[in-house]
Amino acid sequence: MTDKKEYSIIVKKDGKFYVGYCLEIPQARGQGNTKADAIKDTKDAIKLCKSYLESKKKTANVVTVSI
């Protein structure tokens, strides 16, 4: 994964933790004791999701569309 893309992360306080949500990949979520921890954890989740999605593209019958 060498291509760089920007992703939007919303960080909210949930009780005593911070939770991060990626707008472009809703499955990519993270949490932490601080806002910075939640962002780092969400970035890791984005990387995992991207890797999973790329592997699915190679094995599934994928159709690309433009909207």
2: pLDDT confidence band, cut at 50, 70 and 90?
Answer: low
Could you tell me which residues are beta bridge partners of residue 18? 13, 32
Burial class (CB in 10 A: 0-12, 13-18, 19+), 28: buried
Residue 38 lies inside a defined structural domain of this protein: yes
- Mean pLDDT for 37-52 is 97
Do residues 47 and 23 touch, judged by C-beta distance below 8 A? Answer: no
Tally of domains in the chain = 1
- Mean pLDDT for 28-46 is 98
Nearest CA among 55, 31, 65 for reference residue 45: 31
pTM for the whole structure: 0.82
Residue 50 lies inside a defined structural domain of this protein: yes
Residue 29 lies inside a defined structural domain of this protein: yes
Residue 27 lies inside a defined structural domain of this protein: yes
Q: What is the 3-state secondary structure of 48-62?
A: HHHHHHHHHHHHCCC
Residue 51 lies inside a defined structural domain of this protein: yes
- Mean pLDDT for 21-44 is 97
58: pLDDT confidence band, cut at 50, 70 and 90?
Answer: confident
Q: Does 3 score more than 90 pLDDT?
A: no
**Structural domain range at position 41:** 9-59
Q: How far is residue 32's CA from residue 53's CA, in Å, rounded to a whole number?
A: 25
